[in-house]
A = this chain, B = another copy of it.
Amino acid sequence: MNDLPGNNWTAESVASDLERAIHEHRLPPGTKLGEDELGEVYGISRTLVRAALQTLGHRRLVEHRRNRGAFVAQPTVREAREVFEARALLEPRTARSAAERCTPQDIAILREHIRAEHAALAAGEHGKALHLSGRFHIEIARIADQSTIAAFISELVVRSSLIIALYWQRRAAMCESHAHDALISAFEKRDGGLAEDLMKNHLLDLLTSLDLRNVSEMPGSLREALAR
């Protein structure tokens, strides 16, 4: 995105930039993230690149293989289930809190997210739409005023994007579901219980739209062998 030489990149901003690229599926699972290459792209030394990759590694968005380098993570079926289990524990209750606390301003922000998401979809920018869709969930955690939980959800949302990249089965109509619109109306009514239920079902819908039957497991090493 911003690879101008005059841009003052920090380890954090590079990590954010890469995270966004991963979230938007511009960097698909398994992509090699070479240190020299990234250093040249951003005009920084390997020191900062490594710091950024370590950050992403800690968020499980990047997998490190000793003496092999960093790769965009390829969540296994098992990890995929775990991610959605965690989201099921965290997000419904957080949505309830958010619905009970949200201000008109918050609702305006959420509406703007949805508008931008629909615009991106209409323009065929699926990655950007996915990113905005995820940001919607993170925004809810922010509204709930729970920065710790928000940090967890943020990580889980981006990992979900990787999972969607690997296991999505419904080719057409990615986010035609109006779950987010329904959530907003619950927010407007300040109906925490409804918001909690809607979020729970929304996550279940997401999970069932994935194809996690794949028993073969170990996609990592197998896919890795083919990718090279």
Does A86 lie within 8 Å of B148, measured CB to CB? Answer: yes
Whether A79 sits at the interface, judged by CB under 8 Å, is: yes
Does A89 lie within 8 Å of B93, measured CB to CB? Answer: yes
* Majority secondary structure, A binding face: helix
Most interface-central of A54, A60, A94, A152 (chain B CB within 10 A): A152
- Contact bitstring A50-79, B, C-beta under 8 A = 1, else 0: 110011001110000000000000000001
Taking CB atoms, residues of chain B closer than 8 Å to A55 are 54, 58
Whether A85 sits at the interface, judged by CB under 8 Å, is: yes
- Contact bitstring A135-176, B, C-beta under 8 A = 1, else 0: 000000000001111001000100000000000000000000
* 10 tightest A-B CB contacts, nearest first: A82-B148, A58-B58, A86-B149, A86-B148, A89-B89, A89-B90, A152-B152, A82-B146, A89-B93, A54-B54
- Residue pairs across A and B with Cβ atoms less than 8 A apart, 26 shown, are A50-B51, A51-B54, A54-B54, A54-B55, A55-B58, A58-B58, A58-B59, A79-B147, A79-B148, A82-B146, A82-B147, A82-B149, A83-B148, A85-B146, A86-B90, A86-B146, A86-B148, A86-B149, A89-B89, A89-B90, A89-B93, A89-B94, A89-B149, A90-B90, A148-B156, A152-B152
